[in-house]
């Protein structure tokens, strides 16, 4: 999958360190030296006010024709039982006061349970600036935990055959390639791998 136009997020940072807290889902990132501060990530459920941001992230992550339209994304999120989790980054510029915290969504995962047994990962998107920090791994782990609690025992997804970061990530999370789907991304004449694992 190819990245498209550069909508820069408002928060610029150079990740230096990551620290896991007790709940295993929150991380500290050191900012670049010109603006020393700390940012914390946490995983939370999607809220309606997040929609525009999620759509923008999807536009950044996928090429036109592959990125979802607002109507498509909205349809996926609004589906009954949809699991939508965001990785939100909060910077506390007020020096420890929670009242001064600013939250920015850096990525999200969207999944659908099907007949309470199977689940499908609809999309997993991480802002380019926030990659290789374990965010996708944290989101996928949280999503799988939620799917398990809903009774799902198998999870499937599709990813472009040339999406090496995605394929490596999913393999690391225990997914196996099940089959190749010709022209899955028809607008790009691009095949996909269907991958899956038992939960
Ligand atoms: C694929 C994507 C979700 C990975 O997100 P991420 O937060 O950077 O992933 P993580 O930091 O959790 O990476 C976990 C592992 O995945 C693999 N991985 C992730 N990005 C990689 C890359 N660019 N090259 C090679 N391996 C990569 C590595 O094994 C990595 O472990 P390591 O950092 O210890 O080597 C992200 O690059 C993205 O949003 N891409 C665009 C959208 C997309 O392709 N979505 C998934 C397919 S539908």
**Residue 113 CA to ligand 1 centre (angstroms):** 23
**Residue 163 CA to ligand 1 centre (angstroms):** 10
pLDDT value of residue 37:
47
User: Could you write out the DSSP letters of every residue in 26-77?
Assistant: -EEEEPPTTS--EEEEEEEE--GGGHHHHHHHHHHHS-TTTSPPHHHHHHHH
| CB count in 10 Å sphere of residue 106 | 26
pLDDT value of residue 101:
65
Give the ligand 1 atom nearest the CA of 125. Answer: 39
Q: What is the CATH number of the domain that holds 127?
A: 3.40.630.30
- Which residue is it, tokens 């459920």? 45
- Nearest CA owner, ligand 1 atom 4: 136
| 57: its two tokens | 């992230």
Q: With respect to residue 138, please indicate whether it lies within any of the assigned structural domains.
A: yes
**Residue 136 CA to ligand 1 centre (angstroms):** 7
**Residue 134 CA to ligand 1 centre (angstroms):** 8
Q: Which residues line ligand 1 at a C-beta cut-off of 6 Å?
A: 1, 61, 123-126, 131-137, 159, 163-166, 168-169, 172
pLDDT value of residue 6:
26
How many structural domains compose the chain?
1
Which of 9, 132, 194 to mutate to test ligand 1, by most ligand atoms within 8 A of the CB atom?
132
**DSSP H/E element including 80:** none
* Beta carbons within 8 Å of 180's beta carbon, 6+ residues apart: 161, 191, 192, 193, 194
Q: With respect to residue 97, please indicate whether it lies within any of the assigned structural domains.
A: no
Q: With respect to residue 9, please indicate whether it lies within any of the assigned structural domains.
A: no
Q: Please give, one letter per residue, the 3-state secondary structure of 83-112.
A: EEEEEEEEEECCCCCHHHEEEEEEEEEEEE
| pTM of this structure | 0.83
The tens place of each residue's pLDDT in the chain, 199 residues long, gives: 222 222 223 333 333 333 333 333 333 443 332 333 455 789 999 999 999 999 999 999 999 999 999 999 999 999 989 999 999 987 664 444 455 667 899 999 999 999 889 999 999 999 999 999 999 999 999 999 999 999 999 999 999 999 999 999 999 999 999 999 999 999 899 999 999 999 9
Q: With respect to residue 36, please indicate whether it lies within any of the assigned structural domains.
A: no
The residue segments making up the domain with residue 166 are 52-83+108-198
Q: With respect to residue 47, please indicate whether it lies within any of the assigned structural domains.
A: no
Reduce the DSSP state of residue 179 to 3 states and report it. Answer: strand
| 132: its two tokens | 């290789």
| CB count in 10 Å sphere of residue 49 | 7
Q: With respect to residue 29, please indicate whether it lies within any of the assigned structural domains.
A: no
Determine the Cα–Cα distance for residues 101 and 91; give it in Å rounded to an integer.
6
**Residue 167 CA to ligand 1 centre (angstroms):** 8
Q: With respect to residue 34, please indicate whether it lies within any of the assigned structural domains.
A: no
**Closest residue by Cα to residue 125 from 144, 106, 151, 146:** 106
- Nearest CA owner, ligand 1 atom 36: 126
Which of 107, 169, 175 to mutate to test ligand 1, by most ligand atoms within 8 A of the CB atom?
169
**DSSP H/E element including 78:** helix 70-78
**Residue 28 CA to ligand 1 centre (angstroms):** 19
Q: With respect to residue 128, please indicate whether it lies within any of the assigned structural domains.
A: yes
Report whether 102 contacts 90 (CB < 8 A): yes
Q: Could you tell me which residues are beta bridge partners of residue 29?
A: 39
Q: Please give the DSSP secondary-structure letter assigned to residue 161.
A: T
């Amino acid at each position: 999958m190819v990245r498209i136009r550069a909508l820069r997020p408002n928060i610029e940072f150079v990740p230096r360190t990551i620290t896991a807290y007790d709940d295993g889902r929150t991380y500290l990132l050191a900012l670049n030296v010109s603006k020393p501060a700390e940012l914390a990530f946490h995983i939370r459920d999607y809220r309606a006010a997040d929609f525009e941001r999620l759509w923008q992230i999807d536009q950044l992550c996928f090429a036109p024709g592959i990125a979802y339209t607002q109507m498509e994304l909205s349809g996926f999120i609004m589906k009954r039982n949809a699991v939508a989790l965001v990785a939100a980054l909060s910077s506390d510029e007020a020096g420890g006061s929670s009242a001064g915290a600013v939250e920015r969504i850096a990525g999200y995962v969207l999944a659908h349970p099907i007949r309470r047994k199977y689940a499908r990962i609809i999309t997993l998107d991480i802002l380019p600036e926030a990659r290789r920090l374990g965010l996708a791994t944290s989101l996928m782990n949280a999503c799988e935990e939620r799917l398990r609690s809903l009774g799902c025992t198998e999870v499937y997804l599709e990813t472009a055959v040339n999406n090496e970061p995605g394929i490596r990530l999913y393999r690391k999370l225990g997914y196996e390639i099940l089959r190749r789907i010709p022209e899955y991304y028809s607008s790009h004449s691009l095949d996909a791998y269907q991958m899956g694992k038992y939960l």
